[in-house]
Amino acid sequence: MLFSRAWRVVSPSTTGARSRMESGGRVDMVASCQGLPGLVLGRATDPVRPHVQSHQAGRLHLAYSARRLSGAVCDDNINLESGSEVMQTMRWMVACALAAGLMGCGGGGGASPAPEPMAQVTLSTAAIKQDLAAGDVLGLKLEGQWTFAGTGPVYLQLRDASASFSLPAVQAASPDNRIALDIATLATLEPGKRAGTLELRACRDAACAQPFSSAPASVAYELNVAAVPDWATHQANARHSGEVAIRLDPAKFSKAWEWRRPVGSEPIGGINPVVTKAGKVLVTTDVYFGEARLYALSEANGSVVWQQSMGNVPAFNPPAVGDTKVYAAVTGHEATYLWAFDLETGVFQFKSPFEGQWPHFLAPTVMGDAVYQGSGYYGGQIKAYASGDGALRWSAMPNGVWDMFTPAVDDQAVYHHNGASLFVFDKVTGAEKARIADPFGGQSGYSYHGAPVLGSRGNVIAFAGGAFSGRASSNTEQYEQRKLSSFSISAAKYEWSTASAYLTAPAVGAGFVYAARNNPAALDAIDESTGQVAWSWSPPAGTDSEFHRNLVLTKTHLFVSTDRNVYALDLKTRQAVWTYPAPGMLAISAGRTLYIATGARESDGRLVAIRLK
């Protein structure tokens, strides 16, 4: 067909629809054709033949100086009109084969340019689903293949519209056609669920301003980001697991600050194990008939935010924190109370009396709306108080060891080991639900020095028997090493005991119980199901002779104190990757700071803060 003038299609057509035309010196036709991923044919340089410039998914743009339209793929009848006058009805067909790009388009005026080769990328990495903690930098690798039949360089660009990962820069594709890209989650991710897609595309240039039009490869991801809990009581939490589920990089560890208890005339001069909450570190003085003082230190720089004095008392014990309050017990013979202060201001909230005869205790255990405190005129008693106003809810008397214990608590029950048996109490009423004898346990007229640890199998792990420190102090370590025993709560029966006796407060997580012993010195990873040692680590010969204090477990590292140093062990390599030259009691805050209350067996009054990020 010949036209006496040029016309321009301004209304797209796919299957016989009418397309309106207007004068314009050339003919552009836009149409969608089934089976074609999309073409764009731009302004013609030949009066008969269209040229291909680019394409969009599902659309055709045909530009002619307009003599005739011909071809053989899409078969549409289009009415060409000028105003209301039908100028011509023509049958047009687009001759475009897309097996490997555009093979050519014809219109009776010769062959189109050769199609451009396409670079193709594929990823073999499966969809990503990961649980992590806020602040974690979790490294991952994306793997796949790329191909290109043409000449010239190929560059790869990875994109993340949801901005959850730190991504590599645009990089030249490797000569071996392999794709291996390292990515990592951003440390700034807030707690919650995040979903998105990582998209990889191939480009002609290093700026990726000219991407190939081939489809990109993609990997979907889902991240569950958990808030990091603070170190709230003995061994971190109401389970007393000693676990803080974060990932760490020892290359980032650095000392932040240190603080020392003010010098006084009181004979002990030490501090108790610390707890943390909302950017504060809570410290109590360990005293023997001296001034009991509670300090709230800034986690940023160690400065005193507020402090409270309870006056001269026989003993002051380690603190614990709840949502809005700090709790610590003053103990003696008659002036024995659980004190509570506002976390933000230090303002006094309440004090609740309990029985005691010069005892010392580990930190109380806070769970929900209740605080659980060791007590008893002859020890061996547990009291439950309302966390809001200190009202007594119930008291249980399992007897046994005198002092230096705290119960473990979960949603169902309260757990206590008295040296001879594990007791399970109803959380609401305090009624005894179960009593499970420990074959390696025994009654003690001294102290317990420990707390039950809730395991991952519905089990409880605890030291068998009591212990003695030889000092009227709430921070001094006991002499005795003891076996660890495991109990099934659902079956209400004893499961196993370790072959060796241990000294340190254990940490439990990922199917293992970690505990350290002396003579000879060894840190053991104990299978939580069987009680058998899976692997062990010993400190460097000639530098450290004993293990002391407690263990702290993270997702990537295990922290342990000897008589000279604190070590961080890599859980994959089982080797020490960081050392600090002072021993002590350990804690890790939600702000990713390691605290060392220095002193191998007892505190020297100093607190060191190590930034872990």
pLDDT tens track for 168-208: 999 999 999 999 999 999 999 999 999 999 999 999 999 99
Q: How confident is the model at residue 425 (pLDDT cuts 50, 70, 90)?
A: very high
The whole-number pLDDT of residue 3 equals 31
- Tens-place pLDDT, residues 248-300: 999 999 999 999 999 887 888 999 999 999 999 999 999 999 999 999 999 99
- For residue 332, the SS3 value is coil
109 within domain boundaries: no
- Number of domains forming the structure of the chain: 3
**Per-residue pLDDT at 264:** 82
The H or E element spanning position 522 is strand 522-527
Boundaries of domain holding 79: 7-94
Domain end marker among 94, 111, 131: 94
CB of 252 within 8 A of CB of 277?
A: no
Any domain includes 214: yes
User: SS3 for 131-184, per residue?
Assistant: EEECCCCCEEEEEEEEEECCCCCCEEEEEECCCCEECCCCEECCCCCEEEEEEE
Q: Is residue 57 located within the same domain as residue 176?
A: no
Give yes or no for residue 337 having a pLDDT over 70: yes
* Predicted local confidence at residue 585, as pLDDT: 98
Is the pLDDT at 209 greater than 90? The verdict is: yes
Label residue 62 exposed, middle or buried (CB < 10 Å: 0-12, 13-18, 19+).
buried
Domain limit, last residue, from 94, 111, 140: 94
In the block, residue with structure tokens 């402090």: 307
Average pLDDT over residues 510-523: 97
- Long-range contact list for 152-155, CB < 8 A, 24+ apart? 152/204, 153/204, 154/119, 154/202, 154/203, 154/204, 154/212, 155/202, 155/203, 155/204, 155/205, 155/206, 155/208
Predicted pLDDT at 443: 74
C-alpha distance across the termini of the chain, in Å: 75
Give SS3 for 119: strand
pLDDT beyond 70 at 350:
yes
CB 159 within 8 A of CB 167: yes
Q: How many residues does the chain have?
A: 613
User: Which of 468, 509, 458, 460 lies closest to 484 in space, CA to CA?
Assistant: 460
What does the pLDDT read at residue 570?
Answer: 98
Q: What is the rounded distance in angstroms from the CA atom of residue 347 to the CA atom of residue 89?
A: 90
pLDDT tens figures, 383-409 = 999 999 999 999 998 887 789 999 999
For residue 596, give Cα distances in angstroms to 167, 255, 269, 336, 600.
Answer: 36, 11, 16, 28, 11
Does residue 403 sit within a domain?
Answer: yes
Q: Are residues 31 and 179 in the same domain?
A: no
- Compute the C-alpha angle 592/594/596, nearest 5°: 165
For residues 71-92, give the mean pLDDT.
33
Region 119-147: mean pLDDT is 97
42 token code pair: 């731009």
Q: Is the pLDDT of residue 32 over 50?
A: no
Give pLDDT, residue 411.
96
The reported pTM is 0.81
Same structural domain for residues 295 and 442? yes
Average pLDDT (354-376) is 96
Whole-number pLDDT of residue 102: 37
Task: Please tell me whether residues 174 and 315 are part of one structural domain.
Answer: no
| Residue 523 located in a structural domain | yes
Q: Say whether both 16 and 66 belong to one domain.
A: yes
Local confidence band at 378 (pLDDT 50, 70, 90 cut-offs): confident
Check residue 274 and give its pLDDT.
Answer: 98
- Residue 503: strand pairing partners: none
Which tokens hold the place of 35? 């089976």
Other Cβ atoms closer than 10 A to 272: 25
Residues 332 and 481 in one domain: yes
Handedness of CA 553, 557, 561, 566 (dihedral sign): negative
20 or 134, greater pLDDT: 134
pLDDT reading at 14 higher than 50: no
Question: Do both 305 and 398 map to the same domain?
Answer: yes
pLDDT at 17: 32
**Average pLDDT for 220-242:** 98
Angle at the Cα of 252 from the Cα atoms of 179 and 133, rounded to 5 degrees: 70
Residue type, 608: V
Question: Are 210 and 303 members of one domain?
Answer: no
| Cα distance between residue 18 and residue 80, in whole Å | 7
Amino acid identity, residue 222?
E
Cis previous bond, 250, omega within 30: no
Q: Is the pLDDT of residue 580 over 60?
A: yes
Collapsing DSSP states into helix, strand and coil, what is residue 20?
Answer: strand
46 shares its domain with 127: no
Residues 426 and 282 in one domain: yes
| Residue-level pLDDT at 114 | 65
**Is residue 242 in some structural domain?**
no
Q: How far apart are CA 575 and CA 183, in angstroms?
A: 25
Question: For residue 412, what pLDDT is reported?
Answer: 95
Q: Torsions phi, psi of 84, nearest 5? A: -100, 0
In a domain, 241, yes or no: no
Do residue 416 and residue 454 come from a single domain?
yes
The answer on 132 and 183 residing in a single domain is yes
Q: C-alpha angle 469/451/310, rounded to 5°?
A: 70
Contact present, 60 and 94 (Cβ < 8 Å): yes
- How far apart, in whole angstroms, are the C-alpha atoms of residue 312 and residue 291? 4
Position 156 in a domain: yes
pLDDT band at 315 (very low <50, low <70, confident <90, very high): very high
CATH of the domain at 492: 2.130.10.10
Distance CA 72, CA 445 (A): 100
Instruction: Mark which of 177, 210, 226 sits at the end of a domain.
Output: 226
* DSSP states along 565-602: -EEEEETTTTEEEEEES--EEEEE-TTSEEEEEE-SSS
Partners of 496 in beta bridges: 486
Q: Tell me how far CA of residue 399 lies from CA of 234, 374, 480, in angstroms.
A: 21, 11, 21
Contact 508, 498 (CB under 8 A): no
Structure tokens at 391: 């009202």
Task: Please say if the pLDDT value at position 125 is more than 90.
Answer: yes
Does a structural domain hold residue 366? yes
Say if residue 92's pLDDT is above 70: no
The predicted pLDDT at position 354 comes to 96
The CATH number that applies at residue 192 is: 2.60.40.10
At residue 398, the pLDDT reads 86
Q: Which two tokens stand for residue 364?
A: 């109380």
Displacement of CA 546 from its chain's centroid (Å): 32
